[in-house]
Structure 1
Amino acid sequence: MRFLLTSLTAAMTLGLATPAQAWGPIGHRVTGAIADRNLSGVARANVRLLLGEDDLAEAATWPDDMKSDPADFWQKTASPWHYVTVKEGDVYKGSDAPPQGDAMTALTRFTATLRDPKAPVEDRRLALRFIVHIIGDLHQPLHAGGGDDRGGNNVRVTWFGRATNLHSVWDSAMIEQRSLSYSELADWLSRSITPEQTILWSQSDPQVWLRESIALRKTIYPADPALSWDYAYQHRTQVDGRLQRAGIRIAAYLNWLFEPAATTPAKAR
Structure 2
Amino acid sequence: MKRLIMTCLMALATVMPAHAWGKTGHRVVGAVAQTYLSQSADTGVKDILGPEGIAEAADWPDHMRSNPDPFWRSEANPWHYVTIPVGQTYAQVIPPPEGDAITALAKYRAIAIDPTAPLEQRQLALRFIIHIVGDLHQPLHVGNGTDRGGNQFVCTFFDEMSNLHEVWDELLINYQELSYTEWTEWLVQKITPNQLAEWAKASPADWADESAAIRDTIYPDTQILSYDYAYQTRDIIRQQLSKGGVRLAAYLNEMFETMTPDAQPAE
Structure 1 length-normalised TM:
0.88
Decide which of 160, 185, 188 is 1:187's aligned counterpart. 185
1:52 alignment partner, SS class: helix
How many equivalent residue pairs?
246
Matched residues, percent identical?
Answer: 51
Inter-partner Cα distance in structure 2 for 1:212 and 1:163:
28
Match of 1:70 in 2: 68
Structure 1 runs of 4+ with >2 Å offset: 87-90, 93-96
Contact 1:157 1:164 in 2 (8 A): yes
| Correspondence for 1:260 | 258
How far does the alpha carbon of each residue in 1:237-268 deviate from its partner, in whole angstroms, 9 at most, with x for none? Answer: 001100000000000000000001479xxxxx
Larger relative CO (CA 8 A, sep 6+): 1 or 2?
A: 2
More divergent stretch after superposition (29-38 vs 108-117): 108-117
Please tell me the residue identity of whatever aligns with 1:179: E
Ranges in structure 1 where 5+ consecutive residues have no aligned partner: 1-17, 264-269
TM-score (norm 2): 0.88
CA offset at residue 88 of structure 1? 6.1
Whole-angstrom CA distance in 2 between matches of 1:58 and 1:77: 23
What is the CA-CA distance between 1:130 and the residue it aligns to?
A: 0.3
Displacement after TM superposition at 1:172 (Å): 0.5
Provide closer, same or farther for how the CA distance between residues 241 and 88 of structure 1 changes in structure 2, counting only shifts above 3 A.
closer
RMSD: 1.7
Shift of 1:152: 0.3
Deviations 1:15-37 (A, max 9, x none): xxx98511100000000000001
| Deviation of the 1:90 alpha carbon | 2.5
Unaligned runs of 5+ in 2: 1-15, 262-267
Per-residue deviation, 1:204: 5.1
Among candidates 221, 224, 243, match of residue 223 of structure 1: 221
AA of the residue aligned to 2:21: W
In 1, are the aligned partners of 2:65 and 2:73 still within 8 Å (CA)? yes
Matched, 1:203 2:201: yes
2:135 to 118, 134, 137: 137
Aligned to 2:252, what secondary structure does the other structure show?
A: helix
DSSP 3-state at the match of 1:233: helix
